[in-house]
């Protein structure tokens, strides 16, 4: 495995100091100190984010965009500033390219519905990959069913990398959109999305990138990638649940028809004809998750203060250490051995159901995830029922990985005990 970032770039990264910012990390689970390795599912929140939410409801709560009173104006400013923070964080050209949604799934559904309504017709094709999360399959599958269009799938290799040769073959004049994950939530694979987008654009095909697993680990620049749409969730990047982002190129957002409509999306309403607002408000029907947006901005500020290069380098170090430790264990097989990986490690143990290991790890205070991780096609590829998945964050430590490895050994021993 090659490291995605250079370790030498790490400066002053004191994990023990960082851990103090995350109150939940000092709790016990099942009378054992918590080891939280389920960051791919959701990340824990730093004190700064928790404080921002408390402050919002203690001092700032008001509905946004329409109020003339001071608190409403302040809340509107905070919400719109959060949009600018997100814009800067992902390198978007304009702030109106940033739409607040409920999360990645919501963002993908928005595009599938609005884009599909206008641009997808009978016999057209949408391309996804075999390693997509169900949330980046189902909206497209449903669209294809509705429109009698065809869902095409880029296969993966046994190491968990996209078959780029097959990808190129799948592109045709029937292809209307490519929806691809940046980082696989199950395999950890970092896909070459920049290259894939360039190939798609050479045939004038737009690309949506599912960034749910990449935003917490990598520096993402949507303009550098030239992504048409980029989606991610707040809660996977140290922010509250229920808030997410859809980035869309301005030219696309102008062309997309409405998704959900209602309060906030309009200029004027009459029974004869209503006039809609411009993006992003046109896509943000109803009162949004204001405190979520504010929390997301604080979370992004937090990781930027740590430095994304530092985070990536440290997490690579954790991944490499865990891969080494786990590879040394008998009867354990790592699923997903791509050259470029984020800090996700999936594995199976011969003859043992992942769930059995999962509950015994939980009893030892180790929170991991077992099952298909909402990626059943990956399970079908490897012909397995599920995996055990550990996903690391910058607040995890090598000491925790040592305990984890020992806990796996203890669990296997107990299960095999006669």
Partner 1 sequence: MIQMQTIENTEQEIVEEFAEFEDLFDKFGYLIDLGKNLKTLDESLKTDNCMIKGCQAHVWLYSELKDGKIIFQADANADYAKGLVAMMIRVLSGHTPDEIINAPLNFIEKIGFKSMLSMKRAGGLESMIKQMKLDAMVYKAKSSNTFLTQ
Q: Toward partner 1, which CB reaches closer, 170 or 415?
A: 415
Q: Which of residues 342-361 bind partner 1 (CB under 8 A)?
A: 353-356, 359-360
User: Is 374 assigned a catalytic role?
Assistant: yes
Other beta carbons within 10 angstroms of residue 95's beta carbon come to 15
Quote the least distance from Cβ 372 to partner 1, whole Å.
Answer: 8
Binder among 4, 213, 364, 393 for partner 1 (CB under 8 A)? 364
- State yes or no: residue 219 binds partner 1 (CB under 8 A): no
Least distance to partner 1, CB of residue 412, Å = 12
Please state, in angstroms and rounded to a whole number, the distance separating the CA atoms of residues 339 and 29.
35
CB of residue 41 vs partner 1: minimum separation in angstroms?
Answer: 12
Selected catalytic residue, list 266, 374, 379, 384: 374
Q: How far apart are CA 66 and CA 418, in angstroms?
A: 69
Please report whether residue 27 would count as binding partner 1 according to CB under 8 A: no
Widest distance between CA atoms in the chain:
77
Let me know: does 173 contact 96? Beta carbons within 8 Å: no
- The string of DSSP codes covering 295-364 is HHHHHHHHHHHH-HHHHHHHHHHHHHHHHHHHHTSTTEEEE---SSB-SEEEEEETTB-HHHHHHHHHHT
Q: Does 417 bind partner 1 (CB under 8 A)?
A: yes
In the complex, least distance from residue 404 CB atom to partner 1, rounded to whole angstroms: 14
Q: Shortest approach of partner 1 to residue 354 CB, angstroms?
A: 7
Q: Tell me which H or E stretch contains 371.
A: strand 369-371
Q: Report if residue 268 touches partner 1, rule: CB under 8 A.
A: no
Closest to 232 measured CA to CA, from 222, 223, 204: 222
Which residue carries 């910012």 as its tokens? 21
Is the CB of residue 399 less than 8 Å from the CB of residue 158?
Answer: no
Q: Which of 151, 363, 384, 403 binds partner 1 (CB under 8 A)?
A: 363
Task: Using CB under 8 A, pick the residue from 223, 331, 385, 406 that binds partner 1.
Answer: 385
Q: Are strands 150-154 and 125-129 parallel, antiparallel or unpaired?
A: parallel
Provide the CB-side half-sphere exposure for 322 (13 A, CA): 31
Select 8 or 31, whichever has its Cβ closest to partner 1.
31
Interaction of residue 406 with partner 1, rule CB under 8 A? no
Which of 30, 61, 331, 406 is in the footprint of partner 1 by CB under 8 A? Answer: 30
Q: Decide if residue 131 touches partner 1 (CB under 8 A).
A: no
Distance in Å, CB of 418 to partner 1, minimum? 9
The site for partner 1, by CB under 8 A, has a size of 19
Q: For 144-278, where are the E strands, in sequence order? A: 150-154, 175-181, 207-210, 229-233, 244-248, 266-268, 275-276
Q: Which residues are catalytic?
A: 374
What residues line the site for partner 1 (CB under 8 A)?
A: 30-31, 353-356, 359-360, 363-364, 370-372, 385-386, 410, 414-415, 417
């Amino acid at each position: 495995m090659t490291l995605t970032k250079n370790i030498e770039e790490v400066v002053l990264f004191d994990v023990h100091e960082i851990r103090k910012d995350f109150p939940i990390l000092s709790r016990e689970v099942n009378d054992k100190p918590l080891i939280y390795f389920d960051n791919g599912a959701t990340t824990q929140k730093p004190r700064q984010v928790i404080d921002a939410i408390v402050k919002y409801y203690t001092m700032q709560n008001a509905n946004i965009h329409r109020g003339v009173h001071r608190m409403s104006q302040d809340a509107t400013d905070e919400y719109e500033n959060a949009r600018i923070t997100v814009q800067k964080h992902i390198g978007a050209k304009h702030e109106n390219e940033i739409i607040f949604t409920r999360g990645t799934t919501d963002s993908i559904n928005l595009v599938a519905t609005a884009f599909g309504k206008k641009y997808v017709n009978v016999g057209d094709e949408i391309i996804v990959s075999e390693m997509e999360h169900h949330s980046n399959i189902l909206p497209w599958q449903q669209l294809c069913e509705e429109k009698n269009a065809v869902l095409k799938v880029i296969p993966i290799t046994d190491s968990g990398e996209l078959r780029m040769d097959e990808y190129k073959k799948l592109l045709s004049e029937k292809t209307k959109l490519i929806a691809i994950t940046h980082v696989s939530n199950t395999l950890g694979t970092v896909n070459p999305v920049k290259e894939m987008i360039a190939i798609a654009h050479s045939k004038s095909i737009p690309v949506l990138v599912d960034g749910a697993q990449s935003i917490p680990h990598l520096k993402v620049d949507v303009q550098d990638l030239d992504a048409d749409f980029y989606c991610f969730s707040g809660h996977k990047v140290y922010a509250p649940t229920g808030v997410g982002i859809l980035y869309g190129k301005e030219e696309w957002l102008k062309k997309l028809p409405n998704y959900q409509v209602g309060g906030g999306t309009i200029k004027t309403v009459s029974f004869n004809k209503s006039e809609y607002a411009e993006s992003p408000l046109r896509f943000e029907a109803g009162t949004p998750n204001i405190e979520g947006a504010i929390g997301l901005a604080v979370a992004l500020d937090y990781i930027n203060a740590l430095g994304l290069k530092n985070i990536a380098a440290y997490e690579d170090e954790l991944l490499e250490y865990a891969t080494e430790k786990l590879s040394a264990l008998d009867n354990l097989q790592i699923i997903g051995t791509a050259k470029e990986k984020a800090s996700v490690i999936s594995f199976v143990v011969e003859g043992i159901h992942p769930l059995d290991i999962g509950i015994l790890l939980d009893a030892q205070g180790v929170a991991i995830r077992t099952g298909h991780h909402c990626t059943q096609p990956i399970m079908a590829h490897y012909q397995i029922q599920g995996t055990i998945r550990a996903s690391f964050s910058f607040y995890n430590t090598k000491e925790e990985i040592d305990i984890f490895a020992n806990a796996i050994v203890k669990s296997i021993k107990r299960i095999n005990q006669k």
